């Protein structure tokens, strides 16, 4: 895989909103609007088009393509400002010559010409308050772009950073899902017990003392994983079952049909529970 490192202005956003420039390039210092402000905005055709400073990146032979090639694909483009990582593209296409932005966008009264195209799912903009990672080793000079490959020191750093980022996100997602799951299950149990009491809806066993009442569990008639993040918690989706019936109903073809489990138990063998 081949890499491009591009130096850009450090804006609060790259999509033209709330611009707070910290000039690091010539045009930023002169007060002109940098053309990369739309580098993370989705165009009308569904792609993102990126501007590279000073028409950098046009030497496709350094991106693994033959001389005269019109484009190079599968390129990782990394954006930095003052050496700090701002965002990146994966699996991007780099053009040999600049192309006008398909939506005719302008910056400072001038047409924006782009050299990179990427699917929005492969474009990652780092929030301003998270831009704390300085690329290592910090490249010297005031270059517009640098070419790199797997042997480049800054590419090795970037790959390590990506690996750490993925592990951090995976850990956070697991923690958040577990926390939400525990919180939701706790709310569901309280809601169901308040509505139905300590009584199994299937075998009808019931207890009032807290020790034996611990056997009752909340059952989600709508599978728990379906629209977990957005589905509202409805009392009609819940049932109170004893631990045995709860485990058995999850073996039934329709986990919402408690009557079907009751019929199955009555036809196959006598219930071992005794009502109290």
Residue, of 236 and 226, whose pLDDT is higher: 236
pTM for the model stands at: 0.57
List the single range of 118-122, 177-181, 255-259 with lowest mean pLDDT.
Answer: 177-181
Summarised one tens digit per residue, pLDDT across range 63-115 is 888 888 999 999 999 998 888 898 899 999 999 999 999 999 887 788 989 99
- pLDDT (tens digit per residue) in 133-167: 999 998 877 788 899 999 999 999 999 998 887 66
Closest CA to 73 of 89, 55, 87: 89
- pLDDT higher at 8 or 89: 89
Q: How far is CA 26 from CA 14, 120, 142, 153, 228, in A?
A: 18, 29, 10, 27, 50
């Amino acid at each position: 895989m081949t890499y491009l490192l591009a130096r850009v202005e450090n804006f609060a956003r790259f999509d033209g909103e709330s611009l707070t420039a910290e000039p690091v390039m010539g045009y930023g210092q002169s007060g002109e609007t940098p053309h990369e402000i739309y580098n993370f905005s989705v165009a009308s055709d569904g792609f993102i088009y990126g501007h590279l400073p000073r028409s950098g990146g046009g030497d496709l032979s350094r991106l693994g393509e033959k001389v005269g090639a019109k484009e190079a694909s599968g390129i990782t483009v990394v954006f930095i400002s003052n050496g700090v990582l701002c965002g990146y593209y994966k699996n991007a296409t780099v053009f040999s010559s600049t192309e006008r932005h398909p939506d005719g966008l302008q910056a400072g009264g001038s047409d924006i010409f782009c050299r990179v195209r990427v699917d929005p799912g492969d474009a990652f903009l780092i929030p301003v308050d998270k831009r704390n990672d300085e690329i290592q080793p910090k490249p010297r000079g005031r270059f517009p772009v640098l070419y790199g490959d797997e042997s480049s020191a800054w590419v090795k750093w970037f790959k390590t950073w990506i690996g750490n980022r993925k592990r951090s996100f995976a850990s956070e997602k697991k923690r958040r899902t577990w926390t939400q799951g525990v919180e939701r299950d706790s709310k569901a149990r309280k809601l169901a017990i308040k509505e139905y009491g300590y009584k199994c809806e299937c075998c009808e066993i019931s207890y009032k003392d807290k020790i034996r009442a611990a056997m009752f569990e909340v059952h989600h008639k709508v599978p728990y994983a379906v629209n977990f993040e957005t589905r509202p918690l409805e009392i009609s989706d819940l049932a109170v079952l004893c631990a045995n019936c709860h485990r058995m109903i999850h073996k039934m073809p329709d986990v919402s049909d408690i009557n079907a489990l009751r019929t199955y138990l009555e036809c196959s063998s006598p219930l071992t529970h005794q009502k109290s």
